Amino acid sequence: MARIVIADDDVDIRELVAFKLRHSGHDVVAVGDGSAAVEACTAQRPDLVILDVMMPGMSGLDAARVIRNDESLAGLPIIMLTARAQESDIEQGFDAGADDYIVKPFSPRELASRVGAVLARAR
């Protein structure tokens, strides 16, 4: 079981991801923006963070950069989960520090598999 922070401003997607990951046995903290994700990660370091790119306030890209620049969080695995599917968008996600990049719409089963793979690589 892993502790996972999910940040997405779309309540339906946030709840779907949280449900699927809880069903897979993970402890999930779901928040609505990048600032709240950084705060959740700082308050209690998770094993993984999943960030939407386009959110009000702090974007997922900015949150990833903040996480990567924080020494206590620098090695935290990050998955971007976003509708931004252009090659340049994906490149920006990896440049910001993402370990994986999943494009919406997505399969909840694939998401769970990729979460497992990223967590396994991090251990």
So what's the pLDDT on residue 65? 97
CATH value at residue 36: 3.40.50.2300
Digit-coded pLDDT (tens) for 78-110: 999 999 999 999 999 999 999 999 999 999 999
CB proximity list for 5: less than 8 A, separation 6 or greater: 28, 29, 30, 31, 37, 40, 41, 46, 48, 49, 50
Report the domain count for the chain: 1
CB 56 within 8 A of CB 92: no
Confidence of residue 123 (pLDDT cuts 50, 70, 90): confident
Closest CA to 82 of 115, 62, 53, 111: 53
DSSP 14-52: HHHHHHHHHHTT-EEEEESSHHHHHHHHHHS--SEEEE-
Query: What is the rounded CA–CA span in Å between residue 108 and residue 81?
Result: 11
* Phi and psi torsions of 59, nearest 5°: -75, 170
Digit-coded pLDDT (tens) for 19-76: 999 999 999 999 999 999 999 999 999 999 999 999 999 999 999 999 999 999 989 9
Range of the domain at 42: 3-122
So what's the pLDDT on residue 91? 97
Give the percent of the chain with pLDDT over 70: 100
